[in-house]
Amino acid sequence: MRRINWGNTIFLIVSPIIALTFLPIHITLEGMPWSLLILFAFSCLATSVSITGGYHRLFSHKSYEANKFVKLFYLICGAAALQGSALKWSSDHRRHHRHVDTEEDPYNIQKGFWYAHIGWIFLKDDPKYANQMAPDLKMDPLIAWQHKYYYLIAVVVGFLFPTLVGAAFGYPLGGFLYGGIARVVITHHCTFFINSLCHLWGNQPYSDKFSAKDNFLLAFLTYGEGFHNFHHRFANDYRNGIKWYHWDPTKWTIRSLSILGFTWSLQKTGENEILKAVLSADKRKIQNKGFYDQHMESLKLKIEEAHRRIQHAKARYNALKADLSAQKDRKLFELRLELKTAKKEFRVGLQQWQTLKKLG
Q: Which chain residues interact with Zn ion by CB under 5 A?
A: 212
If the CB atoms of residues 19 and 212 are measured against Zn ion, the closer one turns out to be 212
What's the closest the beta carbon of residue 118 comes to Zn ion, in angstroms? 15
If the CB atoms of residues 183 and 188 are measured against Zn ion, the closer one turns out to be 188
Residue 85, phi then psi, degrees to nearest 5: -75, 160
User: Concatenated DSSP letters for 288-343?
Assistant: HHT---HHHHHHHHHHHHHHHHHHHHHHHHHHHHHHHHHHHHHHHHHHHHHHHHHH
**What is the rounded distance in angstroms from the CA atom of residue 6 to the CA atom of residue 57?**
29
Count Cα atoms within 13 angstroms, Cβ side, for 77: 23
What's the closest the beta carbon of residue 313 comes to Zn ion, in angstroms? 34
137 with 54: CB under 8 angstroms? no
If the CB atoms of residues 89 and 150 are measured against Zn ion, the closer one turns out to be 89
**What is the rounded distance in angstroms from the CA atom of residue 36 to the CA atom of residue 174?**
7
If the CB atoms of residues 71 and 93 are measured against Zn ion, the closer one turns out to be 93
**What is the rounded distance in angstroms from the CA atom of residue 67 to the CA atom of residue 38?**
28
Q: Which residue number is nearest to Zn ion in terms of Cβ?
A: 212
What's the closest the beta carbon of residue 232 comes to Zn ion, in angstroms? 6
If the CB atoms of residues 98 and 343 are measured against Zn ion, the closer one turns out to be 98
What's the closest the beta carbon of residue 18 comes to Zn ion, in angstroms? 29
If the CB atoms of residues 212 and 257 are measured against Zn ion, the closer one turns out to be 212
What's the closest the beta carbon of residue 105 comes to Zn ion, in angstroms? 9
Q: Is 163 helix (H, G, I), strand (E, B) or coil?
A: helix
What's the closest the beta carbon of residue 131 comes to Zn ion, in angstroms? 17
Name, in order, each residue with C-beta under 8 angstroms of 217's C-beta and a sequence gap of 6 or more.
Answer: 226
